[in-house]
Structure 1
Amino acid sequence: MVSTMPPVLDPVRLPYLLVFGGVTLACFGLATVLARQQTAAGERELTALFVAIGCWNACSVGLLLVPRQFAVRPLFAGSLLMAIVVSVVWLRFAQVYCGQDPLPIPGRRYLVIGALMAALVLPITNSLHGLVWTDITVQYRYNIPVFLAERGPAHHVLTGASYLFTFASVRCLAIRFWNARITRPAILSVLVGFGLSISANLLPVVSDLLIEYPPAVTAGGGAFGAFGVLVAVRSDLSGTVSIARRSVFDTLADPAVVVDTGGHVLAANEAFVQTFGDPTTGEPFTATNPGLARQLDADAIDRQTVQVDGEDDATHYSVIASPVGVDGTRGRSLVFRDISDLRSATRRLERQNEHLDELAYSAAHNLRNPLGVIDGYAGMIRSELDDVDDPSFDRDRVQGHVDKVAANSQRMEEIVTDLLCVTHASKADGEREWVSLGALAEAAMDAVNGVENLRLTVAEDGEVRSNPEQFEMLLSTLVRASRDRSGDEQVSVRLTASEDGFVFEDDAESIDEQDAEVFLSYGYATKYPGTGLGLAVARMLATSHEWEIDIDGSYDGLRVVVSGAAVRPATDTRS
């Protein structure tokens, strides 16, 4: 006997209605929310998925609310159609979200279209061929009518197609979620939902249900799996960026980390792990990387710079902070770019520019001196030539004037040569290589004129990592300083390699201790012989290598110490 109680209030029917009705309302509600904020790859397809699952569950609700023969066949047909539609939307969502085809088989598109058309046409025309179900009978359980469908071959084929599409999608999503560690817990929801969908076909065998048609029961499991995907998508690395951008994040050569609005670590790429260590996902960034966090302004949008101290020297990083999600509501991504080489090159260029400015000023000053001397002696020569017929004409005095003009002309030539060499060296390729100290010293001696009275000795040879052209000019400048102070005397020049540089010594005119630092400055030419540029050129070339150069004023002669260089024994054959 059929119960006289209203179907909705029937205590046996009510739990089914609560489950399927609740899932239906939840799916439509989630679809409405997603439709208003479609900012991530796949969210449009995910919205369609919840709509399809909602319609699928609505068919189950209809079977419970309208247990009448005229309504059963359309609702059965609708359940089968929506099962196929849901599996196809799953496939599309996985393709868009993961950026790859979940079902890479030949003719995939025709297979999908064929399954959809068959699910639409075959149930409608079933009365003509009976391929979907052969008969629909009624049984009474707990005094409630239950309709049973005798399934045909087309039903099994369509069910298999839906499971094929769904399995391919779930597999693709599971791999994607596993690769992003923050979404790994959501894999359980996806797999459980998929498992519930499959097990629905077995439920009628092991339990007496009010709905015996498997596609109608499967709808609940499909909703559970879709909700798990929603959780995974919304908690992914950024939640609002495409899979292409996430792939860039994972493969970015620069260290990168994503934190939420509360400062908790969401993800870090491999470069960040190798550079700064593996931060614990979910922990505050201030706890996992306190040294970096202290130097960063979490709310700043401009580039920031952080310094990481190492064993030998510090590494500097430029940090680019970008909002994650709409208006940064989900957090912030931080990309760290190593700018140590750039900072070093910038400082080197700044020093070179300062030195070149000083050099230009000094050269102008020093060129005026010999020009003034030449001009003065030229006037004296003209005056003497006016009296050439005078008995008091002194040819030797005129010759002395000519020698002064020639000497100052030579001095100007050397100043111009220094200017050209320094300018050329400052523009030379900055690549460095291992060069022999002794070999470059010999080349420097050959490059300087008038060094016949200098005797070079390499007390201890070595190889220095440097720019060969600039290094040879540095040594040439030191050799010229020895020549200018030697006069006509024999002078010994000695070079000795040290652990971090080399030492240049001569026994020519001594440098007063109070003048040691000044001797390295531009324009100091009045007290000691030279061009006026002198060792200031050597200082510029040394600092371009980031070396230190000093003069030992207590030495009897000239003693120049260069340090901060990379040196190895001359017998070392390493490349």
Structure 2
Amino acid sequence: MPWQSTPYVLLLFLSALVASLWAGYATLSVPAERRDRTVLAFVVLCLSAAVWAATYGIQLASTTLEAKLFAHRLLHVGAAITPSAWLAFALAYTGRGENLTPPVVAALTAVPVALVALLFVNPYSLALVDVGLATTGSLTRLETTLGPAYQFHLAFSYVAVIAGAALVVGNAFRSGGQVKRQAVLLICGALIPLALNVFEALSLPPFGTGPVNLTPVSLSLSTACFGVAMFRYRLLDLTPIASRVVVSEMDDGVVVVDADGTIVDVNPAAEAVVGEQQAAVGSAASARLPEYDRLETATDDVLVTREGPDGGRFLRLSRSPLRRDGETYGWVVLIGDVTTIEKQRRALEERNERLDAFAGVVSHDLRNPLSVISGYAELASETGDPEYFERIQSTTDRMTAFLEDLLQLSRQGETVTEFESVPLKEAVTSVEDDIADGDLTVVVDDAVVGAVVSADRVRFRQVLDNLVRNARDHADGPVTVTVGRLPDGFFLADDGPGIPESERESVFDVGFTTREPGTGLGLAIVRDVVEAHGWSIEATDGEDGGARFEIVGVEFVEADEHADPIDASSEVS
């Protein structure tokens, strides 16, 4: 087969070699487990450019119409797929790889495959209307008249190339100062083939008036630019590999920040904290994350609070460097939601504080009665006076009551176990029957009749028992306790001495009491059980001048005809 010699052939073969080498380097240098969509699309782009350049060189070197036409058809195996590969690479590189779904990949592949098939069979001149040879100087060229299918492919190719260039250039401009060299490479790689195509389409000198289409050469230059940016400057270690390979599916938020403090990438979980990715990328990290400056000097993680749809959230921030060859390219900020852990820690802290309070109460409230018992026991042994034995018995009863209250309070971690339907009136009646005191009268309003509370049956009865006993024990004589209904709860009010306004917040504290024999634990138990149900309690004035305790946030349910009756003899523990 005769060949014609031209420097363009050598240039095209050299371009094919460059693109092939980058495809091989990307395949060999990236481990199989890290070959994400970006690397795969880059390899396909390099191979398609290599096939295009090599077969175009063969077409130029050949001299017969048959050889040139056959090579022309073959070169489109690379040329037709290059725009689709270019757009796929741009999508994957800029963090939009999830858009490369099977239907999208099929659509990007369908047009090139259809064109290649039409070039070989060319029914109704859909791909090529006419072909012939033309001579420019000493170079014999193939001239073609394009059919409608080829024109459609050209339009598709320009849209794909322009869209891909826009994505890559936009991503490059959003990169921070640390990656300016990489950004220049990205912009050059995106714009060189696009600019050359404009020259070719408009026949503008110096590139648009020559006898050879230099687009395959420009694509080889683009692959070289992208290859250097990706593998020499490790751009894939910052964006997108840091997010796509490691953090895209993480529950914790991840913010990638360059060395100048500019956000360059955000994973979906972090958008709730720093805002949507498109708005956050390019912003100063300290503007989107005010605590970022603290991370620069902190020796440990930073705990911050945020308001969420379900209330306050606790977030733990940490920062780790992104280094390569001793150079720091940026930072990864991890944002972990530690709300559950932090609440548990604070609850444990509160419980430990309460245990410390127990120790003080126990040391005070048990030491004194034991001293009294010891003194009266000595007097009783000396005198045999029955009065001393009665005082010993009274003091012992007081200690027993104290220990029972202390046991109840120590079980607050087991306060609520299982909710069920509890009729309010029956629960109050069972408490009254259990106390059975001639000085105590319990009145239940009509509005309470039929009211059913969703509660832990045993602990709910404990609340009512302690409140009723509190009213009885603080009255100097007969006392009446009234139980009434509130829109979102109920109240217990007595006609006793009441609670001074200055002490209404303190009555729920462990150890607080206004009477000498009191343990100061009963209302503390009430508060803990009420809050464990998700309710709240407040002490206020009664209509008759006594104390009134309002419990709100209560969930009332429909009466359950099959609910177990309240056992008046059930033991409160």
TM-score (norm 2): 0.58
Opposite residue 491 of structure 1, the aligned amino acid is V
Mean Cα displacement is larger for which, 178-187 or 540-549? 178-187
Offset of residue 492 of structure 1? 2.0
Q: Deviations over 1:320-360 (max 9, x none)?
A: 54556858955445454444455444333322332233225
Partner of 1:50: 46
Aligned to 1:12: none
2:140 alignment partner, one of 138, 146, 151 = 146
Distance 1:183 1:138 in 2: 43
Residue pair 1:365, 1:523 contacting (<8 A) in 2 also: no
- Which structure 2 residues correspond to residues 31-50 of structure 1 after superposition, within 5 A? 38=30, 41=36, 42-43=38-39, 46=42, 49-50=45-46
Pick closer, same or farther for the CA change 1:90–1:333 going to 2, 3 Å: farther
Change (3 A) 1:190 1:268: same
Quote the residue 2:442 is aligned against.
Answer: 456
Does residue 537 of the first structure (1) align with residue 525 of the second (2)? yes
Q: Give the corresponding residue for 1:419.
A: 406
Higher Rg: 1
Residue 269 of structure 2 is aligned to residue 280 of structure 1: no
Aligned pairs for 1:99-110 within 5 A: none
Paired residue for 2:467, among 470, 475, 478? 478
SS across alignment from 1:426:
helix
Say if 1:432 and 1:192 are closer, same or farther in 2 by CA, change over 3 A: farther
- Report the aligned-residue RMSD: 7.0
Alpha-carbon distance change, 208 to 262 in structure 1, aligned in 2, over 3 angstroms: closer
Q: For 2:75 and 2:102, locate their aligned partners in 1 and report how far apart those are by CA, in whole Å.
A: 22
Residues of 1 paired with 2:520 and 2:356: CA distance?
Answer: 15
Matching residue within 428, 435, 438 for 1:442: 428
In the alignment, the residues of structure 2 paired with residue 299 and residue 460 of structure 1 have an alpha-carbon distance, to the nearest angstrom, of 65
Match among 260, 263, 266 for residue 262 of structure 1: 260
TM-superposed deviation, 1:511:
6.5
Distance change >3 Å, CA 340–CA 550, structure 1 → 2? farther
Deviations 1:281-309 (A, max 9, x none): 55424586365667x53686953333335
Aligned to 1:219: 216
Letter aligned with residue 351 of structure 1: E
Counterpart of 1:305 in structure 2 is 303
> What amino acid does structure 1 have at the position aligned with 2:413?
S
**More moved, 494-503 vs 296-305:** 494-503
Structure 1 residues 397-418: Cα deviation after superposition (integer angstroms, max 9, x where no partner): 53x4454444344333323322
Give the letter for the 1:46 counterpart. Answer: F
Could you list the per-position Cα deviations for residues 474-528 of structure 1 after superposition, in whole angstroms to 9, with x for gaps in the alignment? 44323222232346x3112245677898765434466688887776555567953
CA distance in 2, matches of 1:356, 1:461: 40
Alpha-carbon distance in structure 2 between the residues aligned to 1:377 and 1:181:
91
Q: Which residue of 2 aligns with 1:391?
A: none
- In 1, the alpha carbon distance for the partners of 2:266 and 2:454 equals 39
1:240 match: 241
Matched residues in 2 for 1:192 and 1:481: separation?
Answer: 87
- C-alpha change, 1:525 and 1:48, in structure 2 (3 Å) is closer
8 Å Cα contact 1:504-1:561 kept in structure 2? yes
AA aligned to 1:280 is: A
Q: Give the secondary-structure state (helix, strand or coil) at the position aligned to 2:441.
A: strand
2:464 and 2:194 mapped to 1: Cα distance?
A: 78
Deviations 1:235-258 (A, max 9, x none): 898232475546526xx5x66554
Partners of 2:422 and 2:332 in 1: CA distance: 45
Secondary structure at 1:140 match in 2: strand
- Length, aligned pairs only: 507
- Which runs of structure 2 are paired with 1:366-385 in the superposition (5 Å)? 366-374=365-373, 377=376
1:346 matches 2:333: no
Whole-Å separation in 1 of the counterparts to 2:520 and 2:62: 112
Letter in 1 for 2:472: R
Matched, 1:317 2:315: yes
Deviation for aligned residue 1:261: 3.8
Letter of the structure 2 residue corresponding to residue 473 of structure 1: Q
Q: Residue 260 and residue 224 in structure 1: after superposition, are their counterparts in 2 closer, same or farther (change >3 A)?
A: same
The 3-state SS of whatever aligns with 2:240 is coil
Distance 1:568 1:346, change over 3 A: same
- Matched residue, 2:177: none
Q: Do the aligned partners of residues 181 and 138 (structure 1) sit closer, same or farther apart at CA in structure 2, a change above 3 Å counting?
A: closer
CA deviation profile, 1:521-575 (whole Å, cap 9, x unmatched) = 55567953334534343455567669576688x999863666xx753797999xx
2: CA distance, partners of 1:465 / 1:535: 21
Secondary structure in 2 aligned to 1:455?
A: strand
Distance in 2, matches of 1:270 and 1:542, equals: 39
The change in CA–CA distance for 1:308 and 1:183 in structure 2 (over 3 A counts) is same
Does structure 2 conserve the Cα–Cα contact (< 8 Å) formed by 1:510 and 1:557? Answer: yes
Distance 1:326 1:45, change over 3 A: farther
Output the CA distance in 2 between the equivalents of 1:524 and 1:208. 98
1:235/1:464 CA distance change after superposition, 3 Å: farther
Q: Deviations over 1:198-234 (max 9, x none)?
A: x999x9xxx99745xxxx8773475488689879985
Tell me, what secondary structure is at the counterpart of 1:318?
Answer: strand
What letter matches 1:240 in structure 2? I
Work out whether residues 31 and 51 of structure 1, in 8 Å CA contact, stay in contact via their aligned partners in 2.
yes
Deviations 1:104-163 (A, max 9, x none): 89xx9xxx9xx9xxxxxxxxxxxxxxxxxxxx998632x21316599xxxxxxxx99xx9
**Residue 40 and residue 57 in structure 1: after superposition, are their counterparts in 2 closer, same or farther (change >3 A)?**
same
Q: Does the CA-based 8 Å contact 2:253-2:336 persist in structure 1?
A: yes
State how far apart, in whole Å, the 2-side matches of 1:184 and 1:440 are: 73
Q: CA shift at 1:442, angstroms?
A: 1.2
Q: Distance in 2 between matches of 1:339 and 1:569?
A: 29
Larger deviation: 334-343 or 408-417?
334-343
Q: Which amino acid aligns with 2:216?
A: A
